[in-house]
Amino acid sequence: MWLRLKKCLNNVHKLTMIHDQGIILINKDSEITSAAVVAQVRRLLGMKRVGHCGTLDPFATGVLPVVFGRATGAVPYMSEYDKEYRCQIQLGARTDTMDREGEIIARPPDSYDAAKLEDRPYIEQTLNSFLGEIRQQAPLYSAVKVAGKPLYKYARQGEEVERPWRTVKLHAVKLLDIYYREGEELPCLDVLFSTSKGTYIRSLADAIGEKLGSYAYAAELERTACGPFTLAQAVKTADLFDRFDKLACNSKAFLSASINAGIVQATLTAFAGFPTLAVGGSDAVRLAHGQESKLMADDISLDTLTFTYKDVLLAVGSVNQGLAKVKRVFVDSSAEFLRESSKDEGI
């Protein structure tokens, strides 16, 4: 049986929502951990099954996708997202945390020629030298775990430990501005980075400063995009709590109102760009039960795609010689819209 494959595109049309799952894009404030944001959303929704994709450092701001209900099953796929960051790189000092939170551990010599730091072509050439694949070592102050213990705990206890390395990719870099921050003798670079998953922007700022010979640290860091999700779609938790308070702190009413207001994204939006296959009612029921189903011609094979019914994400799976196999189910097999399809088709 042939069914038409298409790409799942975010926000092309209003997707059908299931009220027990979804994605809320938070515009994270500074000085709060990503885990604390999850705890806040958990309180708003009155749910335990809440998580996030892509940890942001406490000092960082910007897009933090928070998932709830069965949408938490999308996190392994969302973790592969490319990211976009806007970073204010302060030249003239290196800190032990590679950001504004740390102690200054190095400064350039008095003989350093600071005039070249205002030379835009020179700065752009230096930034462009980091394009492509680069090797990064996990920052000393980070949540990366070694032997089950976060690196920042080793650092605070003064313990030496081998920090892991990883290969990441810098897809694009754009110098937006060179300016002076109040009280600083050397300029600050306003830079937009497009990166692969797992890139340490603090480490990148530190490496840029080292290459310039001036040292540097990340003074401000904002994630402007996480996969298909952008800052324009994100909301502040303070605004969510205002909405929550006006609804007498009723979690069900809050969720319903947030869905109606477009604050909650359908789980399917997490798979923007994936091949997607819309199936009929009988196939939808089988897939929702995790069963195999013959959907396509024998010569069609796909490693990963999404299966939908009535614009609802049913499952993520694969097709091998036309036979669909489920990897992860995203709906309850007893969901009302599936029961209706069973009745319609006499299943």
Under DSSP, the state recorded for 266 is P
β-pairing, 149-150 with 22-28?
unpaired
Nearest of 306, 238, 317 to residue 275 by alpha carbon: 306
Q: Pull the structure tokens for residue 278.
A: 């819309």
How far, in Å, are 28, 55, 152, 201 from residue 221 at the CA level? 11, 13, 19, 8
DSSP symbols for 29-80? PTTS-HHHHHHHHHHHHT-S-EEESS---TT-EEEEEEEEGGGGGGHHHHTT
Distance of CA 335 to the CA centre of its chain: 29
The residues, ordered by sequence, that sit 6+ positions from 311 with a Cβ below 8 Å of its Cβ are 13, 15, 16, 266, 268
The residues, ordered by sequence, that sit 6+ positions from 301 with a Cβ below 8 Å of its Cβ are 318, 319, 320, 321, 322
CB 273 within 8 A of CB 77: no
CB 272 within 8 A of CB 75: no
Number of Cα atoms under 13 Å in the Cβ half of residue 64: 28
Q: Based on the residue annotation, tell me whether 57 is a catalytic residue of this protein.
A: yes
Distance CA 325, CA 319 (A): 6
CB 279 within 8 A of CB 341: no
Q: Pull the structure tokens for residue 116.
A: 């070249």
Neighbour-count burial of 309, counting CB atoms closer than 10 A to its CB (0-12 exposed, 13-18 middle, 19+ buried): buried
CB 287 within 8 A of CB 293: yes
Which one of 57, 99, 206, 283 is the catalytic residue?
57
CB 300 within 8 A of CB 342: no
Q: Which residues are catalytic?
A: 57
